[in-house]
Structure 1
Amino acid sequence: MSQADAGVRHPYDRLTPQAVLEALDAVGQRGDGRLLQLNSYENRVFQVFLEDGSAVVAKFYRPGRWTDAQILEEHAFAWELADAEVPVVAPLRLPDGRTLAQAQIDGQPFRYAVYPRCAGHGPELDDPETLRWLGRFLGRLHAVGAQAPFLHRRRLDAETFGHAARRRLLALDLIPPAQLDGWRRACERALAAIDVAFSNSRETRQIRIHGDCHPGNILWRAEGPHIVDLDDACTGPAIQDLWMLLSGTREAMRGQLATVLEGYRQFARLDLRELALIEPLRTLRMIHHSAWLAERWSDPAFPAAFPWFGTPGYWGQQTTQLNEQLEAMAEEPLALSAWD
């Protein structure tokens, strides 16, 4: 049963339009009364129109998810990228010089940041020139990411995104009994294969990466791509930010990756041993996503957006997909020809 079903108030219920406007006013961003809630599940994000005719985007962080140090490290990375002229939507510096503000709203503490409004659309991933451009873009991002480590952000590895996610998911006791054993066996086998893949790749570089570089987090404008939402920035292998640009058959993905790398190699080096991590990383994302949905189920936005989650059909599908990923991980890693 969700908090909503039990009549328990969720922290985000306190973010009324008036509360959002008052929080923005407190940091010198005086709204004219108009605001629009944008599509975001993890955090709450609002476009707020200001009295001077401009508009900003206010991001209210989910309470309890990140520490102040982790959020500030995200912001610092965004500004480091911006200073290196890597197109990124970075948080605004507020009147006191900080990028992170805090507000007590109806007894609930919130951390929030303010961003410039930046319009655009998703990238056309079927266009080879777009893929090359994205390769150059991510090469530049990773060149900056390799210059220093994260001290507080999490690491993308089999334990954090796989084993720990599995333990949390099982502790919530949400999987129907009829599907539990099948899912658990498939997940255990998948994690064993992932452990082997990460062990074999332990000598590859771990750098600061975007971490969640799906097309929805790439904003395409007339001047090219911009990165938005570094909320999942982490330490991990560079290939994590590349594989989510790929789709289709193995041959199609090989061609797409070769095209991306034409641009990427102008600014950064990719250790081709990381290609063996593509399917393990895809599998980790599946396990982590299930745990993420389960842990957020008390947020009323999640049952509304993901009504199929938790059903017998969902867990049966997840079991099938994990078994398919076992087959994919057993295949030879995606290979590039010598001239790629």
Structure 2
Amino acid sequence: MLDRPEGLDDADLTAALATGWGWQPHSLTYRPVGFGAYHWTATDGDGRSWFVTVDDLTVDPEPAEVVHAGLARALATAGALREAGLEFVVAPVPATTGEPVRRLDARYAVSVFPLVDGAAGRFGPHRPRDVPEVLDLLARLHAATSAVAGTVQRADLDVPGRDGLLAALRDLDRPWTGGPFAEPARRLLADRADHVAGLLAEVDRLVARVAATGSDWVVTHGEPHPGNLMWTGAGLRLVDWDTVRLGPPERDLWFLAGDTGTDALVGWTASTGRPVDPDALALYRLRWDVADIAGFVADFRRSHRESEDTTAAFGYLRGYLT
């Protein structure tokens, strides 16, 4: 995130780290990276380096308590995977109470991770030369399902934010007043309303087909794109585990299929004994786009201001809808 979180300063975070993890930051530096959470790097009095993440629990339509519980369960799953021997999992460091994430206040929650020394990828398609290594990593992850059977949450096949997007489609005949991008967003959506409705109908068709397969679900990361991978001297590392859920393998695999469909995944069945479901790949590829549309529309329907983040978000929404 390019913008810092509203109503939260470094003194608040310093106090949270001292109370929750038992150390006082010697240095604390905001890092405008990623999209969806806020990040800092910190060093403690012993010179150890940490990556500190703050999540805004109010951006989801669910109550903050529900969002926090889901985040805690996801990060606990990451911790269990790490304990099960998956060294590529960058899991949170538990607080002194054992919690993987702690409420900072009514709006925010904080978690702490070891700072990984390596080169991060960039969001976008995987480089072809990286695909075999990433597939091996995902195969190991999926094979570890039994280690987190009592912890991992089950994924929902439907689009997150679907109800809000449907409400927005029904509310296109009057001005939106949430902020500077509200009306431009309404006009964009109004111009493409039939198209978006068609995308939702296609999601429904694919959900029905995937649900009908009855195939076994596995533990999946949910967003293993290059931006969540780090190349280190000790090997590949996978970060950002707030999206970990039980789901079809294709929930991860579609990120590697690219425009060639299953062609990039020819080795998957040979190594895992499990065929790739083209319908599931198509569902998750489409679901990603529609979920982004729903999220951006929801952001612009509620109160917002013009900033680097909202300007970027409007650009992404315009890209999807035009």
Contact persistence 2:27–2:43 (CA under 8 A) = yes
Q: Which residue in the other structure is 1:167 paired with?
A: 166
Equivalent of 1:214, from 215, 218, 225?
225
**Cα distance, 1:127–1:186 mapped onto 2, change above 3 Å:** closer
Q: 1:67-99 deviations in whole A, cap 9, x for unaligned?
A: 343222112211121112211111112223332
Whether 1:191 aligns to 2:203 is yes
Structure 2: tracts of 5 or more residues without a match: 61-65, 173-184
Q: 1:184-217 deviations in whole A, cap 9, x for unaligned?
A: 442244234324432443x112232111121111
**Cα distance, 1:211–1:57 mapped onto 2, change above 3 Å:** same
Q: Which residue in the other structure is 1:17 paired with?
A: 10
Q: How far apart, in 2, do the equivalents of 1:310 and 1:285 lie?
A: 13
Q: What is the letter of the counterpart of residue 166 of structure 2?
A: R
**Cα distance, 1:169–1:277 mapped onto 2, change above 3 Å:** farther
Q: What is the letter of the counterpart of residue 30 of structure 1?
A: Q
Contact persistence 1:211–1:234 (CA under 8 A) = yes
* 1:1-340 alignment, distance < 5 Å: 12-26=5-19, 27-64=21-58, 65=60, 66-86=66-86, 87-104=88-105, 108-122=106-120, 125-128=126-129, 130-149=130-149, 153=153, 155-157=155-157, 159-161=158-160, 163-164=162-163, 166-167=165-166, 169-170=168-169, 173=172, 174-176=185-187, 178-201=190-213, 203-248=214-259, 250=260, 253-259=261-267, 265=271, 268-272=272-276, 274-297=277-300, 298=304, 300=307, 302-309=309-316, 311=318, 314-315=320-321, 317=322
The DSSP-based 3-state class of the residue aligned with 2:155 is coil
**Cα distance, 1:220–1:122 mapped onto 2, change above 3 Å:** same
Give me the TM-score of the superposition, normalised by structure 1: 0.74
Q: How far apart, in 2, do the equivalents of 1:63 and 1:282 lie?
A: 26
Q: How far apart, in 2, do the equivalents of 1:155 and 1:314 lie?
A: 24
Q: How far apart, in 2, do the equivalents of 1:165 and 1:240 lie?
A: 23
Q: Which moved more, 1:141-150 or 1:76-85?
A: 141-150
Q: How far apart, in 1, do the equivalents of 2:232 and 2:167 lie?
A: 39
The DSSP-based 3-state class of the residue aligned with 1:113 is strand
The DSSP-based 3-state class of the residue aligned with 2:12 is helix
CA RMSD of aligned residues (A): 3.1
Q: How far apart, in 2, do the equivalents of 1:255 and 1:215 lie?
A: 19
Q: What is the letter of the counterpart of residue 256 of structure 1?
A: A
Shift of 1:259: 4.1
Q: What is the letter of the counterpart of residue 118 of structure 1?
A: V
Q: Which moved more, 1:165-174 or 1:26-35?
A: 165-174
Give me the TM-score of the superposition, normalised by structure 2: 0.78
Contact persistence 1:149–1:207 (CA under 8 A) = no
**Cα distance, 1:40–1:15 mapped onto 2, change above 3 Å:** farther
Percent identity (aligned): 17
**Cα distance, 1:168–1:24 mapped onto 2, change above 3 Å:** farther
Shift of 1:183: 2.3
The DSSP-based 3-state class of the residue aligned with 2:34 is coil
**Cα distance, 1:156–1:169 mapped onto 2, change above 3 Å:** farther
Contact persistence 1:163–1:191 (CA under 8 A) = no
**Cα distance, 1:277–1:162 mapped onto 2, change above 3 Å:** farther
Q: How far apart, in 1, do the equivalents of 2:25 and 2:10 lie?
A: 11
Shift of 1:44: 1.4
The DSSP-based 3-state class of the residue aligned with 2:118 is coil
Structure 1: tracts of 5 or more residues without a match: 1-9, 318-340
Q: How far apart, in 1, do the equivalents of 2:247 and 2:164 lie?
A: 17
Shift of 1:13: 1.1
Contact persistence 1:165–1:287 (CA under 8 A) = no
Contact persistence 1:208–1:233 (CA under 8 A) = yes
